[in-house]
Amino acid sequence: MKKITLVIIAVFIYNIYIFAQIDSNKPYFDLMRIADSSYKTGNFELAIRYANQALEYGNLESHLYNLGCYYSLNGDPDSAIYFINLAINNGYRNCSWLTKDADLATLRASIDWENLMRNCVEKSRQSTDTILADYIMTFRGNEKKYRLKIDSLLKDTGIHSRAYDSLWKLIDSIDKRNIQVIDSIVELRGFPDICMVGEKAAYTVFLIVQHADFSSHQRYFSMIQESMEMGCFKKSHLGLNGQN
């Protein structure tokens, strides 16, 4: 139930930004639903037709990105590159997903791919998502506050005290909640690295992952590596494992 609540909160915050860009009285979402259904059935030409019609009513970054995918799958790399770049110029920042999206596999061998990736990374560095960054930073206080009490409590009461045990249980519950929030953000937006949320928020994400369970470490290691390769994650952070 807690995870569901956190997902709902994350979706709500993100949707405030999304729906502000679209006039809900126009058939934008109807056209995009038809385009998506056509894509799922392999009718890429029809998906392209309806997605292009939807451009008359809106141009969400996800819409432009999907249109690029449709063109890629339909064998039109020039149009695909054009719309993916347009998505980047309109706010798309999940550069790591570009490197593994199967819909774009044929584009990665093109001469324009390197320039597209450079565009994504440069745009990400220029404009971070401040709303998402501020949201992530709200978790930094509790993440840090109770850990600072461990040493003094250990000195005062010892490792076998009830107070020490209770504090670790509280820290553990905070760690579990925090990683659920990051999981939700990743599901919605991709890994929140420096290019997406700036250095301070990205470092907070790193600390949350560091304090999570082992399965979370395994899950996020590849994401951190990908971000690092694109210059969106600091290598020095990996040397801070002993710091809280």
User: Domain segments of the chain: what residues?
Assistant: 2-126, 130-239
The whole-number pLDDT of residue 244 equals 45
Confidence of residue 1 (pLDDT cuts 50, 70, 90): very low
Output the pTM of the full model. Answer: 0.55
How far is Cα of residue 236 from the mean position of the Cα atoms in its chain?
A: 21
Does 8 have pLDDT greater than 60?
no
pLDDT tens digits, one per residue of 150-162: 777 777 776 777 8
Q: CB neighbours (10 Å) of residue 26? A: 13
Tell me how far CA of residue 5 lies from CA of 1, 10, 147, 165, in angstroms.
Answer: 6, 9, 25, 27
- pLDDT, mean over the chain: 83
Span 217-239, pLDDT tens digits: 999 988 888 888 877 888 776 65
Q: DSSP letters of 112-181?
A: THHHHHHHHHHHHHH---HHHHHHHHTTHHHHHHHHHHHHHHHHHH-TTSHHHHHHHHHHHHHHHHHHHH
- Is the C-alpha dihedral spanning 11, 232, 94, 55 positive or negative? positive
- pLDDT surpassing 50 at residue 241: no
Q: What's the fold here for domain 2-126?
A: 1.25.40
